[in-house]
Structure 1
Amino acid sequence: MSKLCFFVQYLPIEGLAAFNKATAELLFGADNPVIKQGRVATLQSLSGTGSLRLAAAFIQRYFPEAKVLISSPTWGNHKNIFNDARVPWSEYRYYDPKTVGLDFEGMIADIQAAPDGSFVLLHGCAHNPTGIDPTPEQWEKIADVIQEKKHMPFFDVAYQGFASGSLDEDASSVRLFVERGLEVFVAQSYSKNLGLYAERIGAINVVCSAPEVANRVKSQLKRLARPMYSNPPIHGARIVANVVGDPVMFGEWKQEMEEMAGRIKNVRQKLYDSLSAKDKSGKDWSFILRQIGMFSYTGLNKTQSDNMTDKWHIYMTKDGRISLAGLSLAKCEYLADAIIDSFHNIS
């Protein structure tokens, strides 16, 4: 009896079925044809990192000549993951320090110049670390080039619902590519939007051209997952399935995400207002409002960031990134004073 109790706690390699169904429907929309036609291979994995790593192993085994294109800059662990999987990668231009915005022309040129059939790693929403996302019109152009070059779009979706406050809006970039009929890789994480960091809950989804292809892809993903971590954890998966599956809890969750995203937007507005009022140089600080999500690139260099810490006791990364999730409205004016001092008085 004790042995039976021990073994029944294991999930199958692909994870909790109710979780996989819920997570794919959240990402693509429950009425999406790819869901109804059974063209999505979904495996529960170890949050976003584990999902990316599993996909990287899949690329290394079945696309041995392919290269992955990664934005410059990107989340620090992306390069580690593909290095560990022995998948070659290169960077495409993304951040323009002159405008503190998107280097869209550079991005398109680099994706265009990549060998046909490359994998292009894209941030679905709330680009980490810059907070700079393409506009809907720019996403259309990115999809055009990827389709023309026969590249494989590979989305990292770590903030669905946590960026704009809308699950659907934050998945719109992924859904655009799916609507184009492209095969797509998508890694998901529930660390931020449901606060399940310690539970390591996420999924890898592969949208395929046909149901039989999805079945084969899922089978091979399971073969890769088995020696890597055997099977995923159960408790966080049940939380996701229960929250999404219960209309009352689902509504509460969506409301909480709207409130959290709204609070960060309010902080952005207050910081922008403070900078605009205090800075007499005429500098345009509107990039703060155009960015989205938890993080903001301020445009400060390493020396200026050091001044923020040494003089103002504001701790930030050396590339000028700040976390707005940890900023209160009451501290916006102090932060604005520090940014203005560092920007204008430190070279």
Structure 2
Amino acid sequence: MGSTVANEASVFDHVEYVPPDAIFELTLAFNADKDPRKVNLGQGTYKDEHGNPWILPAVRAAKASDAVRNANHEYLPILGLPAFRTLVTELVYGRDAAVITEGRVAVSQSLSGTGALHLAGSVLYQTFRERGPSPTAPLPPVYITNPTWSNHRQVFETIGFTVNDFRWASPTTGSLDLPAILEDLGKAPPHSIVVLHASGHNPSACDPTEAEWRHIASVIQQRQLLPLFDSAYLGIASGSYDADAFAIRHVANELQLETVVCVSFAKNMGLYGERVGHVSVTTKTVSAAQALQSRLAQQTRAEISNPPAFGARIVAAVLADEKLRAQWEVDLVTMSGRIAAMRTALYEGLAKRGTPGDWKPIIQQKGMFSVLGLPRLTVVELREKHHIYMADSSRISIAGLNEGNVDYVAAALNSVLR
């Protein structure tokens, strides 16, 4: 007897196919490539000088500590591991920050940086929806930098926000375009959410100086905008967590603006697969912080019930122990220093060959990434002919370079550009 299922209409007939994530597909293609010369400059993960994943010495020691090794497997509280929440909040704002001592910060653990953005965005959506004159009134828009991390738009649009761009890096010079930033933010409606990269801007690698951050923060204050810092690379850009957290602390501590901060420990502790994140919101009053924290708990309960424990225990162990924390600070310098050295090596490899183009931005930028400004066809040629994998936008992860492949990459770039 034949089935009639194929003849029946499906409730899913209207669903459109969504193409796979480009960066993760690029990694799959790289892994399938059998050529020994292959180089992965796509996914933003730190690799050591041999191109292998690096377990930070501080993290290795933390995993061997009693606090992690002998921990049970019970549920964490809904808001996460208490020690993790406390220590990371102090790390982000400074131990003596007024928002902490006065109890004006709402805090929750999250599923790494992406989960932090989604959790914060969901609570903000709920907040603005309740704040509006009616349930159908337009919400304040979210502003993201152009260019930005490919997931920013998707995260906030799926929550329900309208997402707009504001200019960040000049496509012609590859440098920060401060006048354009100030002009665009100066037109943003009051209460708009502005997503800022705290350090190591992805993908442009263009970070403002402290003076430039002050200019940007001044416009945010004047326009009554809500800053939301995506802080995935704190400590990686300069080698100093404190230096990379300048913008956050200036806005939240010095200007005392209400601020949202989304933190990840994927990059700066190498805990990619553990999904360790942290959300904090600074407020004007203690009661507002308490109310927001209750909403963070409610949203977490609805989405994941409670966050995972293992990675949070590692981070807490590192931050709580003076020796492990000192080792982590050394590890940050190791990572940022190797990335900076590879920037110089790539620039010099292109310069000595007289490769067409202006490559100085490579050594002027900061953090894990750089955009080479190549046409898509050139990117495809590098992939197919030289087995060098990068995003179609020609964004490369500098951390994928090492002494064994950087000259090969420079030679390949020189070849295709000639």
TM-score bin (small chain)? over 0.9
Partner of 2:323: 248
Q: Does 1:265 align with 2:330?
A: no
Q: For residues 37-116 of structure 1, what are the structure 2 equivalents within 5 Å?
A: 37-64=102-129, 65-116=139-190
Q: Which runs of structure 1 show a deviation greater than 4 angstroms over 4 or more consecutive aligned residues?
A: none
**In the alignment, residue 102 of structure 2 is paired with which amino acid?**
Q
Q: TM-score, normalised by structure 1?
A: 0.93
Partner of 1:24: 89
**In the alignment, residue 260 of structure 2 is paired with which amino acid?**
F
Contact 2:350–2:359 (Cα < 8 Å) also in 1: yes
Q: Does 1:176 align with 2:176?
A: no
Q: For residues 317-332 of structure 1, what are the structure 2 equivalents within 5 Å?
A: 317-332=391-406
> 2: distance between equivalents of 1:285 and 1:199?
36
> 1: distance between equivalents of 2:199 and 2:142?
19
CA separation of 1:267 and 1:280: change in aligned 2, threshold 3 A: closer
| Seq. identity, % | 41
> 2: distance between equivalents of 1:310 and 1:197?
29
**What residue ranges of structure 2 are gaps of 5+ in the alignment?**
1-71, 130-138
Contact 1:305–1:342 (Cα < 8 Å) also in 2: no
Q: Secondary structure at the match of 1:84?
A: helix
Q: Does 1:11 align with 2:61?
A: no
> 2: distance between equivalents of 1:276 and 1:294?
21
Partner of 1:3: none
Deviation at 1:280, TM superposition (A): 6.5
Partner of 2:312: 237
> 2: distance between equivalents of 1:163 and 1:25?
20
Deviation at 1:329, TM superposition (A): 2.4
Q: Does 1:220 align with 2:285?
A: no
CA separation of 1:272 and 1:142: change in aligned 2, threshold 3 A: same
**In the alignment, residue 110 of structure 1 is paired with which amino acid?**
D
Contact 2:378–2:416 (Cα < 8 Å) also in 1: yes
> 2: distance between equivalents of 1:88 and 1:66?
8
Deviation at 1:331, TM superposition (A): 2.5
Partner of 1:4: none
1:294 aligns with one of 365, 368, 391: 368
Contact 1:225–1:231 (Cα < 8 Å) also in 2: yes
Partner of 2:197: 123
Deviation at 1:277, TM superposition (A): 2.0
Contact 2:355–2:414 (Cα < 8 Å) also in 1: no
Deviation at 1:8, TM superposition (A): 8.0
Partner of 2:46: none
Encode CA deviations 1:219-243: one digit per residue, 9 max, x unaligned: 1221222111111111111111111
Q: Secondary structure at the match of 2:194?
A: strand
Relative CO higher for 1 or 2, CA cutoff 8 Å, sep ≥ 6?
2
Q: Secondary structure at the match of 2:186?
A: helix
Contact 1:155–1:186 (Cα < 8 Å) also in 2: yes
Contact 1:66–1:119 (Cα < 8 Å) also in 2: yes
Encode CA deviations 1:39-82: one digit per residue, 9 max, x unaligned: 11110111111111111111211113211001112111111111
Tell me which structure has the larger Cα radius of gyration.
2
Q: Secondary structure at the match of 1:113?
A: coil
Contact 2:85–2:278 (Cα < 8 Å) also in 1: yes
Deviation at 1:339, TM superposition (A): 2.4
> 2: distance between equivalents of 1:79 and 1:284?
30
Structural RMSD (CA): 1.6
Aligned residues: 337
Q: Secondary structure at the match of 1:221?
A: helix
Q: TM-score, normalised by structure 2?
A: 0.78
Contact 1:41–1:218 (Cα < 8 Å) also in 2: yes
> 1: distance between equivalents of 2:156 and 2:258?
20
**What residue ranges of structure 1 are gaps of 5+ in the alignment?**
1-6
> 2: distance between equivalents of 1:209 and 1:284?
47
